[in-house]
Amino acid sequence: MKNISKLLLVLFLLISGVSYGQKKSKRNAAASPAQTTQAAKPEKKSPFKKYEDIVTAEAVSDDGLFKVHTVGDKRYYEIPFELLNTDMLLVSRISKIAEGLGGGYMNAGSKTNEQVIRWSRVENKIHLRSISFRSVANDTLPIQLSVSANNYDPILAAFSIEGFNADSTAALIEVSDLFLSDNPSLSGLSVGMRTNYKVRNLDRARSYISRMESYPENIEVRHDMTYNATSPPSNSKSGTISMEMSQSMYLLPEVPMQPRLHDPRVGWFTVRQIDYGSDALKSDVKTYIRRWRLEPKDPEAYARGELVEPVKPIVYYLDPATPEKWRPYFRQGIEDWQVAFEAAGFKNAIIAKDAPTKEEDPDWSPEDARYSTVRYVASTTRNAVGPSVSDPRSGEIIESDIIWYHNHLRSYRNRYLLETGAANPSARTLDTPEAEIGEMMRRVISHEVGHALGLPHNMKASFAYPTDSLRSATFTQKWGLATTIMDYTRYNYVAQPGDEGVRWVRMLGPYDEYAINWGYRYIPGADSPEAEKETLNQWIAEKAGDPKYLFGGSNSFDPSSQTESVGNDPVKATRYGLANLKIVAPNLAKWTTKPGEGYADLEELYGELIGVWSRFAGHVVTNVGGVYEELKTSDQEGFTYQPIAKASQKESMDFLIQDVFTTPEWLLQKEILSNIEPSGAVDAIGSMQSRMLGNLLRRDRLERMIENEALNGNEAYTLTAMLSDLRKGLWSELSGTKPIDAFRRNLQRAHVERLVALMEQDASNRSDISAAVRAELKFIQSTAGSASARYSSGIMQYHLKDVEEMIESILQGE
C-alpha cells in the first residue's frame, strides 16, 4: 500500500513538472519578437486619409494661391502651411440676382460684404476667422496682449483636416459646406431682406457650387443659393429666391502700403483704427485715407519733377454688356482723371480697356478680384455708383467696380430738358442728341471713378464760383460749373436765354487736381505717416483763403454746401432757375408729346418739374438760420462757424414768401393737367409747399437762430422776427377779404400743424421755441376769428373758423 502511495506521488510530481514546463515555455514564447507581434494590440488608425485617396485620378485640380480640387460633388482646398495666419481679403458679391431683389438698388456685381480673413490650424482642424483691424497696437508693446484679449476674432467656419500633400507642407480640407450652408457673412441676403421677403431657409438640394478656380493671388468661387421664401420679390408663386454668389479671396500684401493720415480739410474716404499703443494719454484714433498704391517706376526722375508712370497703373475694364455706342464716352470718363494724376507726378496712371473676349481669355470675369470694371446693368434703377474694396490695415484700394444702371440715361435726359431747356434749344426734346447724352454719361462715369479713387462728394465746390459767372461762355468753358466733378452740380440752370456758348454739363475742375495731388503724390524720404504730415499740411496752407480748394460735405445748415446747387448766391441762382422753369412749363407738352402716343412722358416730366422747383426752393430755405462751415486747424485765422448775415436771411425769407409760399400759377398748366390726371395738382403742389414749410420750421434751425441772437444781438435775424415775417406772408389775405385759394388754405393748415408739432417737441424741455410758437398760434387764432366774419358763408369762412377752433382746442389741451 505504501509502495502504491509512493508510486502515485512520483506520477503527480512528474505531471506537475510537465505542466509547469508548458506554462514556462508559453511565457518564454510570449516574450519572443514573433510572439509579441502576434499578441500586441493593433496600432491606432490614422485620422487622415492618403492624398491619392482624396485627390483621385478623377479629380479636376487647379493650381494658384491654393490648389483647389473638385472630386465628384466635393470641393477641396489644399492650404499651404506657409499661408496660414496670413491676411486675405474675402469679398462677397451677387453675380446673378433675382429680379427686384433689394428694391432696385442691388444688381449683378453688388458687393454684400468684405472682410479680412485668416486660415489657422488648431490640432486637426483648420479654422477660418474674420479679422478686425479697428483696434490695434504695435506687436512689440505689452498692451498688444490686452488688445488681442479684448478683440477676439470670430471663427466663421471650422474644417477637419482630411489629409496632407506628399511632403506634408499643405493640408487638405473639404470646403463644400462653407459655400452650401447659410453663412450670413457670405450670403447675399441681409437681415432686412430675410424679414421683408419672409425667407424660411436655404434649400441645400437646390444650391450648388458652379465654379472654383485658383489664380496666383486669389481664389474665385461661384455658388448658386436658393432660398424658400413666402414673399419673394419676383416670381411670387415659386416661393423661391435664387441668386449666384461670387466669393473672391485675395491675398493682401505681406507688407501693407504706407498709410496717409487724413485731414478733414481735404475730402477723402477713410479707414479708422483705434491705436492703443499711441503716446497720447488715451486711445488714439488714427484715420487713413483710402487710395490706390501708386509708386513711381523711376523714383529719381519723379524726384526731379518729371512725369513718371506708376509701377502698377489703375486699370478699368469695360463690361462686355456695355453698348458699343457708349464705350468711347465711358473710356473718356475714366481717363479724364489722367490730368489730375499728372498734377501728382504720374502719367498714364489710370487706363480704360475693353474686357478680353472669351477667345482671348476664357477665365476673365468681372467678379474676379484682380480686375476693376465698369459694369453696365440692365435695370430700371436710375443711378450709378462707384464703390471700392480696400485693405483696412492701410487704406489701400484693392479693386473697384463702377456700376451704371441702364435707366440712369432717362434721369439725365429729363433733367437736361427741365433745367436747361429754356436757354438750350437742343435740350427741348425726349430724343436728346447722342453726343450730348454721351457727354453726360462721360461725366457721370468720371464722378463715380472719383469715388472709386477715394474722393467723397464735395458740395462746397459749386459755391466757389460767382453765380453770374455761370452765364459766361468764357468762364464756364474754362472752369466748368464747380471746382470738382465730385459736387452734385449736374447742369447749368443759371444761364438764361441768349447766353450763347455757355457750358451746360459739369466737368473736372481745379479741386480734383489739388485733391489727387494731396492724396497720391509720392513724398520721397517720408517713411511713416507722421513724417508726411508737415508736407501735407503745407500743401493745404498754400491754398488757404482760396474758395476753389475748400471741401465740405452736404449738411442741413450750410448754404455753401448743398446738393444740386450752383453759384455762390442761392437766392440769385434760384431766381434764375425759376425764370427758366417758367419758360419750360408752358412748353412742356409741346416738347414731350408725339402724334399717336399717350401722355406718360408728359406726366413723368411734370412730376419731375415740381421736384426741380422744390430743390431750387430748398437752397434758399437753408439760408434762413444758416451757418457757414469752413474746416480749420488751430493755426489758421478765423472761425470754423459763421452765421449767415442778417440781410441775407431776410432776403431769403422775402423770396420764400413771395415765390414759394404764394400759389405758383405758372405750374398750373391746363394743357398738362387736363391730360395726365383727373385730379392731384392741388396735393402735389401742396405737398411741395408743406415740405418747404416743414424744412423752414425745423427745430434745429430755430435753435441756431436763438443762439445767433444770444451771441450777436441786433446783428442776428431773430426767431421772433422770422416767425412774424412768415405769419404775415402766409396769412396776408386776412388783412382784407382777398380770396384764399385751395393751395393757400392747405398751406395755412400746414402752418398751424407745424407750429403745434414744434410745441409738442418742446414739451419735455420747454425753451424759447415754445413761447414764440404759442404767441404765433394766438395771433393766428385771433386774426382768423376776426377775418372769418368778413367772408360770406362758404369754404373760406369754414376754413378760418376751423383754424380758430383747432387752435383753441390745442391751447386748451396743453
What is the residue whose three cell numbers read 517706376?
A: 297
pLDDT of residue 790: 85
**What is the mean predicted confidence (pLDDT) over 433-455?**
94
Residue ranges making up the domain that contains 644: 569-578+586-717
% residues pLDDT > 70 (the chain): 91
Question: Is 432 among the domain residues?
Answer: yes
The string of pLDDT tens digits covering residues 209-238 is 999 999 888 999 999 999 999 999 898 889
The string of pLDDT tens digits covering residues 7-17 is 444 444 444 44
Q: Are residues 357 and 433 in the same domain?
A: yes
| Terminal-to-terminal C-alpha distance of the chain | 134
Residues in the chain, total? 814
What is the residue whose three cell numbers read 424741455?
A: 765
Q: Are residues 794 and 663 in the same domain?
A: no
The string of pLDDT tens digits covering residues 291-315 is 999 999 999 999 999 999 999 999 9
| Count of domains for the chain | 4
Q: Are residues 335 and 405 in the same domain?
A: yes
pLDDT of residue 287: 92
Q: Are residues 324 and 470 in the same domain?
A: yes
Question: Is 105 among the domain residues?
Answer: yes
Is the pLDDT assigned to residue 44 strictly greater than 80? no
Is the pLDDT assigned to residue 440 strictly greater than 60? yes
pLDDT bin (cut points 50, 70, 90) of residue 411 is confident
What is the residue whose three cell numbers read 402752418?
A: 751
Q: Are residues 743 and 710 in the same domain?
A: no
State which amino acid sits at residue 57: A
Q: Are residues 319 and 392 in the same domain?
A: yes
The string of pLDDT tens digits covering residues 661-683 is 999 999 999 889 999 888 788 88
Question: Is 259 among the domain residues?
Answer: no
> How many Cβ atoms sit within 10 Å of the Cβ of residue 497?
12
pLDDT of residue 136: 62
pLDDT of residue 278: 67
**What is the mean predicted confidence (pLDDT) over 584-597?**
93
pLDDT of residue 5: 46
The string of pLDDT tens digits covering residues 469-489 is 999 999 999 999 999 999 999
Q: Are residues 748 and 695 in the same domain?
A: no
Domain containing residue 449: CATH number: 3.40.390
Q: Are residues 738 and 669 in the same domain?
A: no
Mark 269-297 as b/e (b = at least 16 C-beta within 10 Å). Answer: bbbebbbbbbeeeebeebebbbbbbbebe
**What is the mean predicted confidence (pLDDT) over 397-417?**
87
State which amino acid sits at residue 102: G
The string of pLDDT tens digits covering residues 173-200 is 999 999 999 998 899 898 989 999 999 9
pLDDT of residue 149: 60
Q: SS3 for 305?
A: coil
Is the pLDDT assigned to residue 4 strictly greater than 50? no
- Tell me the three cell numbers of residue 245: 454668389
The string of pLDDT tens digits covering residues 253-273 is 999 999 999 999 999 999 987
Q: Are residues 702 and 747 in the same domain?
A: no
The string of pLDDT tens digits covering residues 769-779 is 999 999 999 99
Q: Are residues 662 and 780 in the same domain?
A: no
Question: Is 138 among the domain residues?
Answer: yes
Instruction: Tell me which range, 15-24, 77-86, 668-677, is most confidently predicted by mean pLDDT.
Output: 77-86
pLDDT of residue 329: 95
Is the pLDDT assigned to residue 80 strictly greater than 90? yes
Q: Are residues 698 and 598 in the same domain?
A: yes
pLDDT of residue 55: 94
**Which one has a higher pLDDT value, 28 or 46?**
46
pLDDT of residue 522: 94
Contact 420, 583 (CB under 8 A): no
Question: Is 3 among the domain residues?
Answer: no
The string of pLDDT tens digits covering residues 134-162 is 766 666 666 666 656 666 688 999 999 99
DSSP E strands in 439-581: the ranges are none
Nearest to 102 by CA among 319, 377, 375, 381: 381
Question: Is 266 among the domain residues?
Answer: no
**What is the mean predicted confidence (pLDDT) over 161-171?**
94
**What is the mean predicted confidence (pLDDT) over 620-632?**
96
Question: Is 118 among the domain residues?
Answer: yes
Average of per-residue pLDDT values in the chain: 89
CA–CA gap between residue 201 and residue 176 (Å, rounded):
18
Q: Are residues 325 and 472 in the same domain?
A: yes
Is the pLDDT assigned to residue 781 strictly greater than 90? yes
Is the pLDDT assigned to residue 422 strictly greater than 70? yes
DSSP-assigned beta bridge partners for residue 284: 275
pLDDT of residue 37: 46
List all residues 6 or more positions away from 587 whose beta carbon is below 8 Å from its beta carbon.
421, 428
Question: Is 6 among the domain residues?
Answer: no
Contact 689, 747 (CB under 8 A): yes
pLDDT of residue 26: 33
How far does Cα 575 stand from its chain's mean position?
A: 33
% residues pLDDT > 90 (the chain): 72
CA–CA gap between residue 729 and residue 727 (Å, rounded):
5
The string of pLDDT tens digits covering residues 633-655 is 998 989 999 999 999 999 999 99
Domain boundary among 664, 684, 717: 717
